[in-house]
């Protein structure tokens, strides 16, 4: 595990897209997670944003985020399919292999598993011709799916090659989902792992979780659950996950600090994680 | 009215019944036309309003599209002809189109293309399209959009019994399962057991159509081909022949050149033509199919 396995996320940084790309690259990262807002909100338009990403030389870890897709009926479903198609096309233009999809928080969505499975199968099918993989993530305030164990059940039932999981340490820790069951997931079906910590011991209500998730996350090593983050990464590493780790750090403070400073904190976090994971896993390797 | 089968086969949800047409796009339609004629295809009709020609031999319809706005959402035709569409015969085109979209196929925008008739279609691999045609028994889609060429035989016989056997599709590394699911879920194609191959180019994964009338071959880049530009797309058509050696002999007389070196040479199992016009090849395959 080294720096190349880690990436930053544009949502952590303030400023224009080009400045974010530069800061991330200059900090030594080779990949970046992009949001649709980076692209459509670019003053030069979509094409200019896409060109800037390509010129940066950074690999695109993934593209986010399709929300509230599954479990809708009639016109709501049709509307979301249109949104999904537009997201997939942007994802493709950015040469991102992964579209991040969050479990639905919509009050209009059904919790019927068969229906959720069917909708995700459809989304996966839409992604096939574009060579995109759908990473399904359990939001901790998802209406029906709010733990990775549920998301994994749905992904298994859907049984599509290009449908897998996004694991986000925040949502797992916020909901106190046990980490032991991570080992039951097929490593190849984990498409991306998002890492962050937060500053409070507990986030009891859904409102608390939303508020914390959107404003007060920190890099691993900076919060109070960082040992759990290490435990998660170590588990993933030992079970054979070799995909990307992306820092999904929404933080209002970081969005008003100089970009190089925030990127350095991310670098520091990589060092902290790799140091700790490597130390503990050495004896295991010797046995093997 | 066509009499439709009341109970579709469970493995053939769209009632697929073979290939109705294959479409190439090119900015050099005459050059491709002469290659096609050497392969036994005969120009039989011209589109009423666009630069589109219909070629035929035996059971095969082949469209050459040189219209600059040839296919929706796709690039203008290039000099090197590209395989751009497969027209599938289905029981009910509107049903096939709806069902495919329900399962996650991309609807093809209303086309300003070869057919004035509204032929529903979806996006396939690369920038190719898949059309659904249900009028092929007592009424032909070409009757509306095409004008017969004066003096041309409407239904020229096939050279050496040639018929559509399959289409080769190039795909990127590790994409076989994605495309197997695409064709399996949308149309009911099934993977042939490993080791079951036709022709002389045994590689990739073979899918059999649910009507058992044609095949798709998925081909990932060969190992060690990192420096080859390999894109996803429809790559080549395979033509079935009851007697490949006889077909090769007749086609050679018509000027077709077959690759004949150590690894690839004509045999009773199959043959491969040289590339024409910068990349068009035809594969002959010994065929058990009844056209």
Q: The tokens 């994994």 sit on which residue?
A: A152
* pLDDT tops 70 at residue A279: no
Interface with B, mutate which of A125, A130, A163 (most B CBs under 10 A): A125
In this prediction, residues A167-181 reach a mean pLDDT of 92
Interface with B, mutate which of A87, A161, A164 (most B CBs under 10 A): A161
Q: Per-residue pLDDT tens for A65-79?
A: 999 999 999 999 999
| Cβ–Cβ contact A121 with B under 8 A | yes
Distance in angstroms (rounded) separating the CA atoms of residues A232 and B88: 49
Provide the CATH topology of domain A3-279: TIM Barrel (3.20.20)
Which of A124, A126, A161 is closest, CB to CB, to B106?
A126
Q: Using 50, 70 and 90 to split pLDDT, how confident is the model at A41?
A: very high
Q: Using 50, 70 and 90 to split pLDDT, how confident is the model at A155?
A: very high
Predicted local distance difference test score (pLDDT) of residue B114? 53
* pLDDT tops 50 at residue B2: no
Contact B123 A129 (CB under 8 A): yes
Each domain of chain B, given as residue ranges in start order, spans 19-148, 159-286
| Cβ–Cβ contact A129 with B under 8 A | yes
Helices marked H in chain B? 29-38, 93-102, 142-145, 176-187, 244-253
Q: Per-residue pLDDT tens for B133-159?
A: 998 877 788 888 899 999 999 899 999
| In contact, A136 and A191? CB cutoff 8 Å | no
Distances (CA, A) of B230 to B84, B172, B221, B233: 17, 7, 7, 9
Helix A17-26 with A259-287: angle, nearest 10 deg: 40
Domain B19-148 has CATH 2.130.10.10: no
Q: What percent of chain B has pLDDT over 90?
A: 70
Distance in angstroms (rounded) separating the CA atoms of residues A135 and A148: 12
* pLDDT tops 80 at residue B71: no
H or E stretch including B7?
none
DSSP for B102-141?
Answer: HTTPPBPPPP-SS-SS---EEE-STT-EEEEE---SSS-T
- State how far residue A81 is from chain B, nearest Cα, in angstroms: 9
Q: Per-residue pLDDT tens for A75-126?
A: 999 999 999 999 999 999 999 999 999 999 999 999 999 999 999 999 999 9
- State how far residue A85 is from chain B, nearest Cα, in angstroms: 9
Q: Using 50, 70 and 90 to split pLDDT, how confident is the model at B85?
A: very high
Q: Which of A244, A193, A245, A253 is nearest to A217 (CA)?
A: A253
* pLDDT tops 60 at residue A286: no
* pLDDT tops 80 at residue B75: no
Distance in angstroms (rounded) separating the CA atoms of residues A76 and A115: 14
Predicted local distance difference test score (pLDDT) of residue B177? 97
Which residues in chain B are closer than 8 Å to A126, comparing Cβ atoms?
Answer: 104-106
**What is the CB neighbour count within 10 angstroms for residue A140?**
26
Distances (CA, A) of B53 to A122, A247, B29: 36, 56, 8
Q: The tokens 């009926």 sit on which residue?
A: A73
Distances (CA, A) of A120 to A107, A142, A155, B125, B170: 18, 15, 8, 21, 26
Distance in angstroms (rounded) separating the CA atoms of residues B193 and B223: 22
Distances (CA, A) of B170 to A153, B152, B204, B246: 33, 35, 9, 29
* pLDDT tops 90 at residue B77: no
Q: Which CATH number does the domain B159-286 belong to among 3.90.180.10, 3.50.50.60, 3.10.180.10, 3.30.470.20? A: 3.10.180.10
* Residues near B264 by beta carbon (within 8 Å), at least 6 away in sequence: B200, B201, B272
Residues forming beta bridges with residue B168, ordered by sequence position: B217, B236
Distances (CA, A) of B172 to A34, A104, A128, B280: 24, 32, 12, 20
Q: Per-residue pLDDT tens for B7-26?
A: 556 789 999 999 999 999 99
Predicted local distance difference test score (pLDDT) of residue A282? 47
Q: Per-residue pLDDT tens for B197-217?
A: 788 876 889 999 999 999 999
Q: Per-residue pLDDT tens for B88-125?
A: 999 999 999 999 999 999 998 655 455 566 789 999 99
Q: Using 50, 70 and 90 to split pLDDT, how confident is the model at B44?
A: very high
| Cβ–Cβ contact A126 with B under 8 A | yes
Contact A131 B186 (CB under 8 A): no
Distance in angstroms (rounded) separating the CA atoms of residues A7 and A97: 15
| In contact, B234 and B242? CB cutoff 8 Å | no
Predicted local distance difference test score (pLDDT) of residue B241? 97
The answer to which of A35-49, A152-166, B65-79, B270-284 has the lowest mean pLDDT is: B65-79
Q: What is the dihedral of CA A158, B220, A61, A18, to 10 degrees?
A: -140
Distance in angstroms (rounded) separating the CA atoms of residues B170 and B106: 20
In this prediction, residues B37-54 reach a mean pLDDT of 94
Q: Per-residue pLDDT tens for A180-219?
A: 899 999 999 999 999 999 998 888 888 888 989 899 999 9
Interface with A, mutate which of B181, B231, B234 (most A CBs under 10 A): B181
Widest CA span in chain B: 54
Contact B182 A125 (CB under 8 A): yes
């Amino acid at each position: 595990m080294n720096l190349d396995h880690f990436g930053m996320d544009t949502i952590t940084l303030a400023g224009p897209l080009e400045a974010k790309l530069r800061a991330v690259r200059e900090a030594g990262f080779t990949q970046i997670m992009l949001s649709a807002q980076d692209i459509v909100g670019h003053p030069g338009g979509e094409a200019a944003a896409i060109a800037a990403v390509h010129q940066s030389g950074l690999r695109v870890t993934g593209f986010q985020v399709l929300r509230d897709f599954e479990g809708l009926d009639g016109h709501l479903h049709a509307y979301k399919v249109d949104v999904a198609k537009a997201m997939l096309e942007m994802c493709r233009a950015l040469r991102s292999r992964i579209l991040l999809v969050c479990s639905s928080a919509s009050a209009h969505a059904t919790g019927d598993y068969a229906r959720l499975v069917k909708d995700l199968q459809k989304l996966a099918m839409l992604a096939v011709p574009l060579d995109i993989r759908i990473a399904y993530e359990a939001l901790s305030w998802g209406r029906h799916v709010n733990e990775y164990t549920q998301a994994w059940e749905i992904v298994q039932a859907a049984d599509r090659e290009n449908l897998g999981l996004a694991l986000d340490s925040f949502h797992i820790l916020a909901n106190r989902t046990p980490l032991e069951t991570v080992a039951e997931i097929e490593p190849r079906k984990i498409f991306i792992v998002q890492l962050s910590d937060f500053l409070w011991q507990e986030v009891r209500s859904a409102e608390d979780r939303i508020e914390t998730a959107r404003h007060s996350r920190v890099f691993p090593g900076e919060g109070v659950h960082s040992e759990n983050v290490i435990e998660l990464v170590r588990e993933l590493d030992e079970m054979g996950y070799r995909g990307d780790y992306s820092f999904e750090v929404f933080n209002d403070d970081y969005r008003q600090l100089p970009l190089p400073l925030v990127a350095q904190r991310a670098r520091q976090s990589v060092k902290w994680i790799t140091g700790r994971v490597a130390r503990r896993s050495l004896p295991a390797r010797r046995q093997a | 009215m066509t009499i439709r089968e009341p109970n579709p086969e469970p493995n053939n949800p769209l009632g697929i019944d073979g290939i109705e047409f294959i479409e190439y796009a090119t900015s050099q339609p005459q050059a491709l036309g002469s290659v096609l004629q050497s392969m036994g295809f005969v120009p039989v009709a011209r589109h009423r309003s666009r630069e589109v020609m219909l070629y035929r031999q035996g059971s095969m319809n082949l469209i050459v599209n040189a219209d600059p706005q040839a296919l929706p959402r796709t690039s203008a035709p290039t000099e090197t002809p590209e395989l751009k569409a497969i027209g599938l015969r289905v029981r009910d085109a509107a049903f096939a189109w709806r069902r495919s979209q329900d399962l996650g196929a991309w609807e093809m925008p209303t086309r300003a293309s070869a057919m004035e008739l509204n032929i529903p279609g979806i996006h396939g691999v690369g920038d190719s399209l898949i059309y659904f045609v249900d009028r092929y028994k007592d009424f032909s889609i070409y009757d509306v959009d095409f004008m017969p060429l004066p003096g041309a035989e409407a239904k020229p016989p096939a050279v050496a019994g040639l018929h559509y056997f399959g289409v080769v599709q190039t795909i990127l590394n590790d994409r076989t399962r994605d495309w197997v699911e695409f064709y399996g879920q949308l149309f009911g194609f099934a993977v042939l057991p490993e080791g079951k191959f036709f022709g002389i180019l045994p590689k990739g994964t073979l899918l059999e159509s649910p009507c058992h009338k044609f095949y798709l071959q998925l081909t990932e880049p060969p190992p060690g081909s990192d420096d080859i530009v390999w894109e996803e797309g429809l790559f080549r058509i395979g033509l079935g022949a009851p007697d490949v050696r006889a077909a090769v002999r007749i086609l050679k007389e018509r000027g077709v050149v077959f690759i004949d070196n150590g690894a690839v040479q004509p045999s009773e199992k199959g043959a491969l033509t040289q590339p024409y016009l910068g990349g068009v090849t035809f594969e002959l395959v010994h065929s058990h199919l009844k056209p």
